[in-house]
Amino acid sequence: MSKDLNFRSKEYWNRIIWGLFLGLLSAIGAYIFIFIMNLGQSLLLPNLNNWTPFTGPWWMVVVMTLVGLMVGLIHRYTSAKQIDVFKAVDKGYMDPKPVPSSLLVSLLSLISGFSLGPEVPTGMLAGALGSWVSKIRGMDPETTKSNVISGVSGAYAGLFSSPFAVLIMLLESTHFQSIAYYGTLLIAGLAAAIGFSLFYALNGMAVSNLLGILSPPAYNLQVWQLGAGIVLGILAVPIALFFVIVNKIISRLVEPLNSKPIVRGTLGGLLLGLLAVALPTTIGLGTTQMSVVTQQAAEIGIILLVIIALAKIVALSGALNFGFIGGPIFPLLFVGSCFGAVIHLIFPQVPLALALGCMIVAVPAAIVPIPIALAGIGIIVVGVPFADAIPIFLAALTAFSITHGLGMREDKEKDKEQINQKIN
């Protein structure tokens, strides 16, 4: 038996102890980050229940421009940058040096209403803690990777209210599948349970606000709905392609300003502030507005719902390219909810919960390479019973398979190369 699963091994127990400690430490850090973010947003952001165009407060332009200036200054004098948490988990290490300044940029970005999510900064915090502790303690690469995975597991289990989804996330990451890997999964699972328990206790014995945000009428699973899940997964693909195209266009337009971060940040804040005035639904994570646009979908109308969703994609891509730091998952959940409401309006025979659940997970799954984990998170958001959630999983897998199976051949070769290196 591999030493990774040998409970009589001192090395394995050492990994368990450090993994649990870093899972707890990362969950505490993530909770503090979310608490400060929520407090800042409650003081600074306007009422996010307003969807009417051209009714956003003009002072948001001033706020977002000033924050853009501050973000630019931080980029100019520090090493702040967006770090891919999933790649860090695959690699088993994250450079801690740029993380403190990056967290400051992210906190400013999220508090001032830029269209980003907290999953990237909390993941960066957890990954950096695991790497930093491992480095100062002189730990070997395998223990370091276990610590990074445990830290991210603890933070994300609390953030997404789902230890199970976190374990699925790890199974969807690049790794060499073997019995030994389940030893790491056990440590990560225990860390995730600690992170979830911490958030649960500190939230007054209640899970995070993600649970049942929408809560549409339940539906009883029928055979035809399995095919509907596949069709909805296909419909998510052009939405993902729109994000890719917009991201490339904005990236090329902003590229000359990358050497001038102060100008880039200030200009980005100004432009995204003007967009916030024109369409106030582009402000913030999008979780608050999800219930608004779905409950008032008939009043908003199909055309405006589509415009709101596409504008959120523009706001997300703009924030990422102008130097603001945060994650794409939460804004993309909002985009999916808009298109789910559109589908239900056009085809009322498709249950609202089914349309919302499928699109909420299929849109981010077409972009972020964790489709099954996202399906688990989507079930939490919509509140669909697990027994009725098969179409949601099919939608996520369909969207992921089309966009990544046909357009990401280079990434597949990189994954194979990493696995071969581990084998050899």
pLDDT per residue as tens digits for the range 358-390: 999 999 999 988 899 999 888 888 878 888 899
d(CA 245, CA 31): 35
SS3 per residue for 196-236 = HHHHHHHCCCCCCCCCCCCCCCCCCCCHHHHHHHHHHHHHH
What pLDDT does 210 receive? 55
Radius of gyration, CA atoms only, the chain? 21
Contact 4, 129 (CB under 8 A): no
Structure tokens at 230: 């596949």
Predicted confidence (pLDDT) per residue in 24-72, tens digit: 999 999 999 999 999 999 898 877 788 999 999 999 999 999 999 999 9
Residue bearing tokens 């127990």 = 13
Structure tokens at 329: 């998952």
What pLDDT does 212 receive? 53
Tell me the sheet residues that pair with 112.
none
C-alpha neighbours within 13 Å on the C-beta side of residue 189: 10
| Reported confidence tier of residue 6, pLDDT bands at 50, 70, 90 | low
One DSSP character per residue, 124-174 reads HHHHHHHHHHHHHTT--HHHHHHHHHHHHHHHHHHHTT-HHHHHHHHHTSS
* 407 alpha carbon, distance to own chain's centre: 21
Contact 239, 306 (CB under 8 A): no
What pLDDT does 63 receive? 96
Structure tokens at 36: 């400060």
Helix 99-111 to helix 119-136 angle (10° resolution) is: 160
Q: Which domains does the chain have, with CATH numbers?
A: 3-202 (1.10.3080.10), 223-423 (1.10.3080.10)
**Where does residue 189 rank: exposed (0-12), middle (13-18), buried (19+ CB within 10 A)?**
buried
Backbone angles phi, psi at 116, to 5 degrees: -145, 165
Residue 147: other Cβ atoms inside 10 A:
32
Range 62-85 average pLDDT: 96
| Reported confidence tier of residue 412, pLDDT bands at 50, 70, 90 | very low
What pLDDT does 7 receive? 62
d(CA 118, CA 57): 24
Contact 166, 125 (CB under 8 A): no
Predicted confidence (pLDDT) per residue in 108-151, tens digit: 999 999 999 999 999 999 999 999 999 999 999 989 999 999 99
| Dihedral angle sign, alpha carbons of residues 170, 175, 179, 184 | negative
| Reported confidence tier of residue 189, pLDDT bands at 50, 70, 90 | very high
Asked if residue 175 has pLDDT above 80, the reply is: no
d(CA 65, CA 84): 26
Candidate from 92-101, 159-168, 331-340 with smallest mean pLDDT: 159-168
What is the share, in percent, of the chain residues with pLDDT greater than 70?
90
The residues near 321 (Cβ < 8 Å, ≥ 6 apart) are: 247, 250, 251, 254, 268
SS3 318: helix
Range 103-107 average pLDDT: 97
**Where does residue 417 rank: exposed (0-12), middle (13-18), buried (19+ CB within 10 A)?**
exposed
What pLDDT does 405 receive? 72
Q: Could you tell me the pTM of the whole model?
A: 0.90
| Reported confidence tier of residue 423, pLDDT bands at 50, 70, 90 | very low
End-to-end CA distance of the chain: 19
Predicted confidence (pLDDT) per residue in 209-227, tens digit: 555 577 788 888 899 999 9
- Arithmetic mean of pLDDT over the chain: 89
d(CA 221, CA 212): 19
Q: Which residue has the higher pLDDT, 204 or 66?
A: 66
Contact 294, 248 (CB under 8 A): no
